[in-house]
Amino acid sequence: MQHVLEQQAGAADEPVGAAARRRTFAVISHPDAGKSTLTEALALHARAITKAGHVHGKAGRNATVSDWMEMEQARGISISSAVLQLTYRDTVLNLVDTPGHADFSEDTYRVLTAVDAAIMLVDASKGLEVQTMKLFAVCKHRGIPIITVINKWDRPGKDPLELMDEIAERTGLTPTPLSWPVGIAGDFRGVVERDSGEYVAFTPTAGGAQIAPEERMSPGAAAAREGDAWTVAREESQLLAASGAEHDQEMFLGGISTPVLFAAAVRNFGVRRLLDALVELAPAPSPRTDRQGEARPLDAPFSAFVFKLQAGMDTAHRDRLAYIRICSGVFERGMVVTTARTGRPFATKYAQQAFGRDRSLVEVAYPGDVVGLVNASNLRIGDTLHAGPPVQFPALPTFAPEHFAVARGVDTGRYKQFRRGITQLEAEGVVQVLRSDLRGEQAPVLAAVGPMQFEVAEGRMRAEFGAPIHLEPLGYGVARRTTPAWAPTLSAEWGVEVVLREDGELLALLPDQWRVRSIQRNHPDVVLEPLVAT
Ligand code: GDP
């Protein structure tokens, strides 16, 4: 399904102005918090540029974007992680998808290297859940500002002040609600806009298929209509003000506070407010720092980095799609750029934008935009592409693996293919490869953030490299950074193994946190540092 985007086919804009009108963000959440529903609601309220043709309101939810991902999963190939591009007011919003169900993997984390802000979507009845916290930790480490959305307020849930305490305690961020709910969770009547004091009444529509009508009224009218619920909301809002929970743009951008909104995505309520917050508060793309520590101006010649590789979309053609995030300059389809790592040219004839099953050709793109490049088998995760004089951005971080398995070739006669495949998967970031003298080159340890990565590795070793592997799971659940000096001591401990990663990190693998603590007790000076990201 290919269609040229006409509105993008005209003369190119200048990159600084175009960047100022862009917001590139991801939604971080636990499965079932409502990410797909929110994505659809955003597409309903804003105009989709990439034709997210199958993104509907709930009523028409037949073949949605997420269903497409499930199909890919069923076929045992890697999961699409792409961008939904929307325009709202005069701004282009790039929503970069963070695949995150059974397919939760290092890719999910890597997407966060390509965004400038994140929406932390929280289920009102569940609060902050495991996967949300993991993704949050990566955002915090990278200094990505976070807007929090408390979703499903139309259903019974926690007390809003309790939720604020939970956010403060678990994330260390100061929650600064922009809106405050009128009516407890499950009796969602509307919100107080905390800056203007206005009431926005929530009018349910059948199934939430359409944009929910918003009725704005003065505090006086609200008090008359909602009675006690209004009084409580106002009092709570004043309480928040007294405790300093007011939005401050610098604190938000500095990762100290998080603006909070209340919503019911399935009913399309609070979605427009979120779009406004993205336009008004989320940061526009800014100059990215290169390996020399120099910030590359937005109007420098084109540059971008690869944050996601997707293989096997079409197994017959060994198609490889590389997703790049543009950092500077203007991208024009057809331009020939340079791969910084090799100095080789790369032709961008088939640049695409993709979300779910829809692919459309991209003609022009700007800093902050995400573009998919076809025929990208020579590109690797973290590669820089550029026009003009050489520039190289820092390598992408690797993330703390939690799943470990020994890989062995089923057919020992195909060792060459085995080695080539493992090296390639390592270079692409499909799995991390850990080695030790003890295990030898024929039986490296594969490590992953999510077990789905193993399935992808297995499938590709068989189909692409002709070297089927057998994976033997290992009972480790934690990797910690250590030093050569500590390696002998740690290796001698029960249930611990020391291995080397390609980036030179020496990792100690341990069964669980409990074992980490018991070793720390026995060896108070031991080096066992957590690996958030390197
Ligand atoms: P995802 O796994 O995060 O993508 O979550 P989905 O968008 O698939 O939503 C999970 C379930 O929660 C679905 O049954 C949705 O209909 C439901 N859901 C999502 N948002 C809301 C909401 O605001 N209110 C209610 N009541 N249900 C919601």
ipTM of the complex: 0.99
CB of 300 within 6 A of ligand 1: the answer is no
Residue 101, annotated ligand binder? yes
Residue 144 banded pLDDT, cuts 50, 70, 90? very high
Residue 68 banded pLDDT, cuts 50, 70, 90? very low
CB of 29 within 6 A of ligand 1: the answer is yes
Residue 93 banded pLDDT, cuts 50, 70, 90? very high
Smallest CA separation from ligand 1 atom 14, residue:
32
Residue 212 banded pLDDT, cuts 50, 70, 90? low
Which domains are present in the chain? 19-281 (3.40.50.300), 288-386 (2.40.30.10), 403-530 (3.30.70.3280)
Q: Report the side by side order of strands in the sheet with 117-123.
A: 47-48, 83-88, 91-96, 22-29, 117-123, 146-151, 257-262, 174-177
Confirm if 450 and 456 have CB atoms less than 8 A apart: no
Q: Give the model confidence (pLDDT) of 474-489 as tens digits.
A: 999 999 999 999 999 9
Rounded CA separation 439/422 (Å): 15
**37 C-alpha vs ligand 1 centroid, how far in Å?**
6
Residue 413, annotated ligand binder? no
108-129 average pLDDT score: 95
- Out of 37, 79, 267, mutate this one to test ligand 1's pocket (max ligand atoms within 8 Å of CB): namely 37
Predicted TM-score (pTM) of this structure: 0.86
| Residue corresponding to tokens 């979300």 | 355
Name the residue with higher pLDDT: 354 or 203.
Answer: 203
Closest listed residue to residue 299, CA positions, set 326, 330, 267? 330
Smallest CA separation from ligand 1 atom 25, residue:
152
Residue 97, annotated ligand binder? yes
**144 C-alpha vs ligand 1 centroid, how far in Å?**
25
CB of 265 within 6 A of ligand 1: the answer is yes
CB of 155 within 6 A of ligand 1: the answer is yes
CB of 34 within 6 A of ligand 1: the answer is yes
Q: Give the model confidence (pLDDT) of 170-209 as tens digits.
A: 999 999 999 999 999 999 999 999 999 999 998 776 655 5
**36 C-alpha vs ligand 1 centroid, how far in Å?**
7
Confirm if 122 and 33 have CB atoms less than 8 A apart: yes
CB neighbour burial string for 207-228, b if at least 16 within 10 angstroms, e if fewer: ebbeebebeebeeeebbebbee
346-367 average pLDDT score: 73
Residue 322, judged by CB atoms within 10 A of its CB (0-12, 13-18, 19+), counts as buried
42 backbone φψ class: left, alpha, beta (φ>0; ψ -120 to 50): alpha
CB of 519 within 6 A of ligand 1: the answer is no
